Amino acid sequence: MSEAIYISGTGSYLPEKILTNQDIAKTVDTSNEWIVERTGIESRHIASEAETTSYMGFMAARAALADANLTSADVDMVILATMAPDMICPSTACIVQKLLGCRPIPAMDVGAACSGFMYILELARNFLLGSKNYKNILIIGSEKLSAMVDWEDRSTCVLFGDGAGAVIVSKGDHNGILDVFIGADGSGANLLTIPAGGSARPASEGTIKARNHYIKMDGREVFRNAIKYMGESINIILKRNDLTVDDVALVIPHQANMRIINMVAERANINRDRLFCNLNRRANTSAASIPIALNEAISSGKIKAGDLILLVAFGAGMTWGASIIKWK
């Protein structure tokens, strides 16, 4: 069995509508200055009613398939990471599978919040390594977070954006995905939640009045843990692959807060010119942030053949992960 697993195509989709900090400052007590200084975010894309998580995932997937010179007939599995599924049941992956017109291949969602892309990359890699039944796996991070944030809560509504990124992970002759590391610590599950709407607290008049169907976050604790676990993830993945940070051409971190990215980079001795950031125009798109950034880094010529790329993420759960990719 071939042990070579690589990224054969990437794609992304961003809604046309852009919401600036100034726009948000018209509806909640905030300012462009506060948001830029505390987060680095200037604007974000916001989906229309028709731009659902499945639709954005489908559009990103179509672009990734075209980039890989493949069609939906070549896809052997769809795995989609999101914290904003179209609905609780069925999975958004099944809806994307239908939109793409795939064969009756397996399709599933994975919930690992902002680390979702690292989780589905590791799943795809292991399905391909461990089975002769799969050759091309479509992985998608897609998030309509504008539907999940409380637009009356200034501490969260300024942080998030909508969009989708997709990657085709294929078996082939390049050993592109050298390693993926993922981890979780459920003792921090309370730090970032959407408390109601699940089976523990089903929707009721009370949950709606309490605005418990929206994202609630202990920003400071999430901030502290993001720095800790992104730093540890970088150390672990470099060490177990006998690499140093100097071997890496480009680091693509989860785009949540510029202060988090800068602190992680500083502690890991990563030079600014080796960091890819699009947070200022995309905000935090959770599971979509890394595949969108990867696609943008490729299309802007920041990644060359033979480069080592380091991806690193942190999210609710708490979850985290990192990956080393040798670009084809």
Q: 212, 225, 257, 284: which is the annotated catalytic residue? A: 284
- Binding residues for ligand UT7, total number by CB under 6 A: 22
126 is catalytic: no
Structure tokens at 144: 């309509």
Binding mask 35-54 for ligand UT7 (x = CB under 6 A): x--xx---------------
Out of 8, 12, 30, 54, name the contact with ligand UT7 by CB under 6 A.
Answer: 30
**Closer CB to ligand UT7, 83 or 102, in the complex:** 83
Determine the Cα–Cα distance for residues 272 and 292; give it in Å rounded to an integer. 20
Q: Which residues of 264-291 are buried (b: 16+ CB within 10 A; e: fewer)?
A: bbeebebeeeebbbbbebbbbbbbbbbb
| Residue 188 lies near ligand UT7 (rule: CB under 6 A) | no
Binding mask 272-291 for ligand UT7 (x = CB under 6 A): ------------x-------
Q: 21, 45, 94, 114: which is the annotated catalytic residue? A: 114
Run of H or E including 122: helix 116-130
Structure tokens at 163: 């969009």
Confirm if 19 and 163 have CB atoms less than 8 A apart.
no
| Footprint on residues 204-223 left by ligand UT7 (CB under 6 A) | 219-220, 222-223
Confirm if 46 and 3 have CB atoms less than 8 A apart.
no
Q: How far is the CB of 117 from ligand UT7 (least distance, A)?
A: 12
Residue whose Cβ sits closest to ligand UT7: 219
284 is catalytic: yes
277 is catalytic: no
**Closer CB to ligand UT7, 284 or 323, in the complex:** 284
Q: 254, 257, 277, 295: which is the annotated catalytic residue? A: 254
Burial class (CB in 10 A: 0-12, 13-18, 19+), 104: exposed
Structure tokens at 201: 């607290």
| Footprint on residues 99-118 left by ligand UT7 (CB under 6 A) | 114
Determine the Cα–Cα distance for residues 261 and 14; give it in Å rounded to an integer. 22
Confirm if 112 and 118 have CB atoms less than 8 A apart.
yes
Region for 217 from its dihedrals, namely left if φ exceeds 0, alpha if ψ lies in -120 to 50, beta otherwise: beta
| Residue 256 lies near ligand UT7 (rule: CB under 6 A) | yes
Distances from the Cα of 119 to the Cα of 35, 48, 141, 322, angstroms = 30, 28, 10, 9
Residue 69 has a CB neighbour count (10 Å cut-off) of: 10
Q: How far is the CB of 148 from ligand UT7 (least distance, A)?
A: 12
The stretch near ligand UT7 (CB under 6 A) out of 130-138, 153-161, 241-249, 318-326 is 153-161
**Closer CB to ligand UT7, 106 or 219, in the complex:** 219
Structure tokens at 108: 């599933």
Q: How far is the CB of 259 from ligand UT7 (least distance, A)?
A: 7
Triad 96, 294, 192: Cα angle to 5°: 70
Out of 15, 253, 315, 317, name the contact with ligand UT7 by CB under 6 A.
Answer: 315
Out of 27, 131, 155, 300, name the contact with ligand UT7 by CB under 6 A.
Answer: 155
Instruction: Provide the annotated active-site residues.
Output: 114, 254, 284
**Binding residues vs ligand UT7 (CB under 6 A):** 30, 34-35, 38-39, 114, 154-155, 158-159, 192, 219-220, 222-223, 226, 256-257, 260, 284, 314-315
